[in-house]
Amino acid sequence: MPRAIARGENTDRRKTGDGTLAILNYPGDGTGMKTGKALIDDVDACEVLPGQCALWWLGQQGFIAKLGKIVCYFDPYLALDPSRQVPPLLNPADITNAAMVLGSHDHGDHIDRSAWPGIAGASLRAKFVVPMLLRDKIVQEIGLPGERVLGIDEGIERSVDGVAVTAIPAAHELLDEDPATGLHPYLGFIVEGNGFRLYHAGDTCLYEGIQAKLRRPRLDLALLPINGRDARRLAANCIGNMTYQEAADLAGAVQPGMTIPTHFDMFAFNSADPQLFADYMQVKYPRLETCIPRHGERKIVHRKN
């Protein structure tokens, strides 16, 4: 099992001469971590066979997923925020290969407004997928061309270069919906292409019915937040997610081919230990595969059936 990044190991954030944060190597990450152009080159060079997904973790809920030749960015959080524990692995201008950029909700660590114009400029064909409820606001306030921004919600399907995207409402911490339209400000995504089906949960807690929405067709991969929630964080306006136990039980109910815990690394005040998740999965759902992600390191996930 890959080793998790221990708390406190990755807090050195040196400034470089031009004011950008240095990209650091994390003790224990081995040689697999790539950043910047080397990471983009690794994504471009990676051959993804049918029934496979190649995955690179960008920290927090950010992932690159490559299905066949199609490269999708989920919640890429690239802002140079000094409270980050993990420096950005990429600059927006590095991202020349995006077919699709998905933003699960309008919080800075998910839809990073500072990054999207740069990504749009570097990946001229990329489409941006956001909650329908927020679409017009995002188009206006970020300044992206309207035809490049696709709104989505439960019951709406989008397709980009043969990769299909549908949405699962998310409860962050409550299952909010707009009273006028019934649209949801917080979403998760199901992305299907190359004979592979993955769920990126965005930020969510459990709610009645989420298991049934995710059970069929079977997920090959689920990316689930585990940072939990409590009074201290909620009082500080930091709304929360599933605990690691709840994330494990969601996996147990849904039986994905692979489950990867996320959203535990970025902020000291809002973190969790992914090893507790992995240990709990191993004891409670020993037949389910899980793996703790490592920043910037390629992981190929295979469809099981």
- Min CB(107)–Zn ion separation in Å: 6
Copy the structure tokens of residue 157.
């399907």
Phi/psi of residue 232, nearest 5 degrees: -60, -45
- 3-class DSSP state of 41: helix
- Min CB(95)–Zn ion separation in Å: 20
Q: What is the DSSP string of 60-86?
A: TTEEEEEETTEEEEES------TT-SS
- Min CB(266)–Zn ion separation in Å: 8
The residue among 192 and 203 lying less far from Zn ion, judged by its C-beta, is 203
- Min CB(33)–Zn ion separation in Å: 22
The residue among 234 and 300 lying less far from Zn ion, judged by its C-beta, is 234
- Min CB(190)–Zn ion separation in Å: 19
Q: What is the DSSP string of 147-182?
A: GGEEEE-TT--EEETTEEEEEEE-BSSS----TTT-
Residue nearest to Zn ion (CB): 203
The residue among 60 and 123 lying less far from Zn ion, judged by its C-beta, is 60
The residue among 127 and 172 lying less far from Zn ion, judged by its C-beta, is 172
- Min CB(109)–Zn ion separation in Å: 5
Copy the structure tokens of residue 190.
């199901």
Calculate the CA 242 to chain-centre distance.
15
- 3-class DSSP state of 284: helix
By CB under 5 A, the count of residues binding Zn ion is 1
The residue among 111 and 288 lying less far from Zn ion, judged by its C-beta, is 111
What is the footprint of Zn ion within residues 77-106 (CB under 5 A)?
none
Tell me, letter by letter, the H, E, C secondary structure of 247-274.
HHHHHHHHCCCEEEEECCCCCHHHCCCH
- Distance in angstroms (rounded) separating the CA atoms of residues 120 and 304: 35
The residue among 203 and 220 lying less far from Zn ion, judged by its C-beta, is 203
The residue among 112 and 203 lying less far from Zn ion, judged by its C-beta, is 203
Per-position x/- string for 186-215, each x denoting binding to Zn ion as judged by CB under 5 A, each - no binding = -----------------x------------
CB 46 within 8 A of CB 38: no
In sign, the C-alpha dihedral spanning 250, 183, 199, 213 is positive
- Min CB(110)–Zn ion separation in Å: 6
Q: Is 75 in the site for Zn ion (CB under 5 A)?
A: no
Beta bridge partners of 128: 101, 149
Summarize as ranges the residues that interact with Zn ion (CB under 5 A).
203
